[in-house]
């Protein structure tokens, strides 16, 4: 917080409240739990308010908020995203919650989109899909995820396969299980020095539950809530994103590339970025192809793998984010 306060004028802290009764409301629980945004007392007038997803839209109902322009940062097609979370969860109560919020977001997202003067889509694919719709075409723009990190070069080599992700998200747990059940054992058989390294934050999930999930698998290790990810990137041969469910841009894939690792990913794990298969990463959607992609990286010289990573890094960093952002804000205020 001290670092934040050093570069911003004001910080207002509000608390989320998750109540079972809010499941009966018409707005998604993701938004209802942030109702306290209506109660913040703002003392200034703002040129622009940027909403980081529709879930914080209740701030627009705050009577003290005065802003000339409203911008919505679209992280996902929320309806599709929550349906995907429901599909990936094995818990019947969580499934019900995810499906309910997915249905509620259909109406809720449209209302927030209508209030916004500009829609900034992180995903190139979702931008194209919404920009084709007449009611959103004039206010939609593709503004990719920003990264303050300079691309890293790794020495590569070895047989360590890395996955980093939030271990409290059902689509990440589903991805890990899919990989372990369909790819992991074959790699152990053919590459005895191979190992699978999982790193993630646990949130409200117990570490014991994650360890129990891994109990039947050899050559697999997990690290919880680590303060520094750099050593794990440095020791890995490649990064896998075997996600089967999800929407929008997967930051774990972007972070892996920027941290110098070759990426093997399903189409879900790489969508919305614009990477070229076999040139900037390896796409694989079934177990045989996933195994073959990893085996190919294992058998390829590190210099060649580094070249693929470099092409992906150049692609991700060929646009100046601040220049794009300035153009967006300039265009927005020119409308007046």
Residue 155 lies in a domain: no
Q: Domain residues for 98? A: 2-144+321-334
| Percent with pLDDT over 70 in the chain | 99
336 has a pLDDT exceeding 80? no
**Quick one: 135 and 207 in the same domain?**
no
Q: What is the pLDDT of residues 149-200, one digit of tens each?
A: 789 999 999 999 999 999 999 999 999 999 999 999 999 999 999 999 999 9
Q: Determine the average pLDDT of the residues in 137-148.
A: 85
The answer to whether 248 and 123 have CB atoms below 8 angstroms apart is yes
Q: Which residues of 89-120 are buried (b: 16+ CB within 10 A; e: fewer)?
A: beeeeebebbbbbbebbeebbeebbeebbbbb
Domain count, the chain: 2
**Quick one: 116 and 262 in the same domain?**
no
pLDDT at 24: 81
Spatial CA neighbour of 105 closest among 129, 128, 74, 134:
74
Residue 151 lies in a domain: no
How far CA 329 is from CA of 50, 65, 124, in Å, comes to: 11, 20, 19
pLDDT at 272: 87
**Quick one: 329 and 288 in the same domain?**
no
Residue written as token pair 């177990």: 287
**Quick one: 114 and 251 in the same domain?**
no
**Quick one: 137 and 166 in the same domain?**
no
d(CA 181, CA 165): 18
DSSP annotation of 181 = I
Q: What is the pLDDT of residues 241-266, one digit of tens each?
A: 999 998 888 899 999 999 999 999 99
d(CA 53, CA 72): 6
d(CA 160, CA 153): 17
Q: What is the pLDDT of residues 24-50, one digit of tens each?
A: 888 999 999 999 999 999 989 999 999
Q: Mean pLDDT over all residues of the chain?
A: 92
Indicate which CATH number applies to the domain containing 225. Answer: 3.40.50.2000
d(CA 270, CA 31): 27
């Amino acid at each position: 917080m001290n670092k934040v306060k050093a570069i911003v004028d004001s910080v207002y802290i509000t608390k989320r409240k998750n109540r079972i009764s809010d499941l009966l409301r018409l707005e998604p629980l993701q938004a209802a739990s942030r109702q306290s945004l209506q109660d913040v007392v703002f003392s200034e007038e703002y040129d622009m308010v940027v909403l980081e997803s529709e879930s914080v839209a209740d701030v627009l109902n705050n009577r003290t908020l005065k802003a000339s322009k409203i911008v919505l940062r679209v992280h996902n097609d929320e309806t599709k995203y929550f349906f995907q979370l429901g599909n990936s969860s094995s818990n019947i109560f969580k499934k019900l919650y995810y499906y309910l919020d997915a249905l509620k977001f259909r109406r809720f997202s449209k209302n927030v989109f209508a209030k916004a003067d500009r829609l900034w889509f992180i995903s190139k694919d979702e931008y194209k899909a919404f920009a084709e719709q007449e009611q959103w075409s004039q206010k939609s723009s593709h503004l990719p995820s920003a990264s303050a990190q300079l691309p890293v070069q790794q020495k590569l080599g070895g047989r360590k396969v890395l996955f980093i992700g939030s271990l409290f998200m059902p689509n990440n747990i589903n991805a890990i299980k899919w990989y372990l059940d369909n790819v992991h054992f074959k790699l152990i058989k053919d590459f005895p020095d191979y190992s699978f390294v999982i790193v993630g934050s646990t949130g409200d999930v117990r570490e014991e539950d994650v360890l129990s999930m891994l109990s039947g698998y050899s050559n697999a290790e997990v690290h919880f809530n680590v303060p520094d990810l750099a050593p794990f990137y440095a020791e890995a041969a490649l990064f896998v994103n075997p996600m089967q469910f999800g929407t929008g841009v997967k930051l774990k894939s972007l972070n892996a590339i920027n941290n110098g690792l070759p990426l093997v990913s399903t189409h879900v794990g790489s969508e919305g970025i614009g990477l070229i298969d076999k040139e900037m990463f390896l796409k694989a959607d079934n177990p045989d192809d996933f195994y073959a992609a990893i085996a190919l990286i294992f058998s390829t010289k590190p210099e060649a793998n580094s070249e693929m990573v470099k092409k992906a890094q150049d692609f991700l960093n060929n646009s100046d984010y601040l220049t794009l952002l300035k153009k967006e804000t300039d265009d927005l205020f020119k409308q007046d």
